[in-house]
Amino acid sequence: MSFDVIASSRAEQRATKPWRHVVETGLALGAAGIFLGFVGILGMFNARPIIVDLLTLGYATLAILFLTAGILVARRGLLPAPGPVLLGGLVAGAIAGAVFALLPAVMLVVNLRFIFVALNQPLLAMLTFGLKPAVLALPAFVLLGALLGLLGALPVTLPDVVRRPLAGGLTAAGLAGLFQELLRPILANSTVSLPIHDLLYTWKGLTVQGAIIVFLVVATGIAIRLGCGKRASARFGALRPQTRRNIRGGGIALACVLAALFPLYAGNFIGQVLLMVVLFVLMGMGLNIEVGLAGLLDLGFVAFYAVGAYVTALLMANDGAAFAQLSYWQAMPIAVLCSIVVGVLFGIPVLKVRGDYLAVATLSLGEIVRVVVLSDAAAPLLAGAKGILQIPRPEVFGHPLNTPVALFYLALGSAVVAAYFAWRLEDSRLGRAWMAIRDDEDVAQALGINLINVKLLAYGLGAAFAGLAGSIFAVMLGSIYPHSFQLIISINILALIIVGGMGSLPGVAVGAFVLIGLPEMLREFGEFRFLFYGLAIIAVMRLKPEGLWPSAAKLRERQIDAETVAAQAASVAASAPRQRA
């Protein structure tokens, strides 16, 4: 209640003092730019070209900060007319530029590199644009910030048919430059796409001509879609329901086939990234059963992943540590079964524990598994810190799956089968029992649901998905080590199902792609990619707390909550005149 009061008072303050908000926005974004310089992000980004000999990622980051100042001022809707909105964007951008200009100004006077190693001469050369004398760069930042702030506020005053093509075209051109190390090998991989590669890129990166082409193609496509979208939607709505379902199903099937065939064309790097995404999708579907459906917060989920990997290794490895020389197709069901047994055994001690205490208890159980694997007592059996080596690849009709793309298809087939079972479980009697104990255990027990059986089934079936993922992980690496199964994996899995949408199977896939796939593609930025990872999670939770692809139940709950709030507001508004009377 107090939070609502504070938030409403701040909103009223912004509404009554809009220009104060303009100043605060400029100050905040200028300070954000200084922070990026201090931690070294700007210097590292400046070595990454977006458009060859024209724009680097460092300058693009600064431009985005100044544009954001104008966008935030315009999107708040606090200024009354287009003229003041544009002026507010200009002022906010100029303030952001002026604040950021303090960084090169201080660097010109004082050498701070003995404290902040990122504040070096290459960064100073970047921030002064190579101008002589360097102090000329200081007013240049103010002018640049004002211009970009004005441009950031301008689209809000434009109609959708102009704003969306411009925004889409600029975004596409930026992404084509940002991910050029990924796109160039794909386009150069065949004679069909090689002319497109030569049209857009050189060996250095995206050319100015290529950026213009990408912008025009995407902007034109969006404009055509906006112009013809209403007519196409009207024609589609006039079709029979069965025909509409067939068209939607055909489109989804075609998209799935193209996505499945994409790694064959893209190569082993994309195959490796997608393989990791699919493994986390498998684990996400398992944890979604425990957390999303049954409401059992499990922070030791990585233990089941480790069990699947270690059992597979012990049944297949050629380094003398194996119990038997089984094939993958013989070892994998045993690994899944062992994971189920461990999941049930883990569930027994925590049957009476709820909420935050359950999270702490499962975290402890997961750490117990890691400590046992590392211990000297278990070393003769599990090989301790040296790990288990020489795990052979799976074979299909005598052909080994020895490439990331081939293993991706193994993982994809497993994920499809697992997704079918997860989907059927969600709509089954057991799935409804899980959702009942998630909402209220006491009421569920009063309705006749056996809490012990239902909870243990959730732990066991969730562990089966993780064990399957661990089995594939073992043959993917060809060796396993205890440090591969740390707590951060459980946290990543929990994060992806929250970001994707709690209780939503499509949300698990979306969350895995956003939180696992994209950071893998940004490995060149080193440890800073985890900063972007954290910022992405904060942004999603702030802008879309229900998840990127929420379940139907979650959408209904939010709709009911919105209707309840609206009804309460209407009741308060209706009672106000009577109270004054």
- Provide the residue ranges of all domains of the chain, joining segments of one domain with +: 13-228, 270-560
Check residues 60 and 238 and name the one with the higher pLDDT. 60
- pLDDT confidence band for 218 (50 / 70 / 90): very high
Overall residue count recorded for the chain in this entry: 581
Res. 8: pLDDT tops 50: no
How many Cβ atoms are within 10 Å of 61's Cβ, its own excluded?
17
- pLDDT confidence band for 142 (50 / 70 / 90): very high
How much is the pTM?
Answer: 0.83
What is the per-residue pLDDT across 252-269, written as a single tens digit (0 to 9) for each?
888 888 888 888 887 788
In this predicted structure, what is the pLDDT of residue 159? 83
In this predicted structure, what is the pLDDT of residue 353? 85
Res. 92: pLDDT tops 50: yes
Q: Which two tokens stand for residue 523?
A: 């490995």
Q: Please classify residue 581 by burial: count the beta carbons closer than 10 Å to its beta carbon, then call 0-12 exposed, 13-18 middle and 19+ buried.
A: exposed
Check residues 481 and 5 and name the one with the higher pLDDT. 481
Q: Which helix (H) or strand (E) holds 72?
A: helix 57-76
The mean per-residue pLDDT over the stretch 117-137 comes to 85
Helix ranges restricted to H, 2-56:
2-16, 18-39, 41-45
Q: Please classify residue 448 by burial: count the beta carbons closer than 10 Å to its beta carbon, then call 0-12 exposed, 13-18 middle and 19+ buried.
A: exposed
- pLDDT confidence band for 336 (50 / 70 / 90): very high
For residues 148 and 67, the answer to whether their CB atoms sit within 8 Å is yes
- pLDDT confidence band for 4 (50 / 70 / 90): very low
The mean per-residue pLDDT over the stretch 295-313 comes to 91
* CATH class, range 270-560: mainly alpha
What is the per-residue pLDDT across 411-447, written as a single tens digit (0 to 9) for each?
999 999 999 999 999 889 999 999 999 888 888 888 8
- pLDDT confidence band for 9 (50 / 70 / 90): very low
In this predicted structure, what is the pLDDT of residue 581? 56
The mean per-residue pLDDT over the stretch 150-159 comes to 85
For residues 300 and 283, the answer to whether their CB atoms sit within 8 Å is no
The mean per-residue pLDDT over the stretch 508-513 comes to 90
Check residues 97 and 111 and name the one with the higher pLDDT. 97
How many Cβ atoms are within 10 Å of 400's Cβ, its own excluded?
12
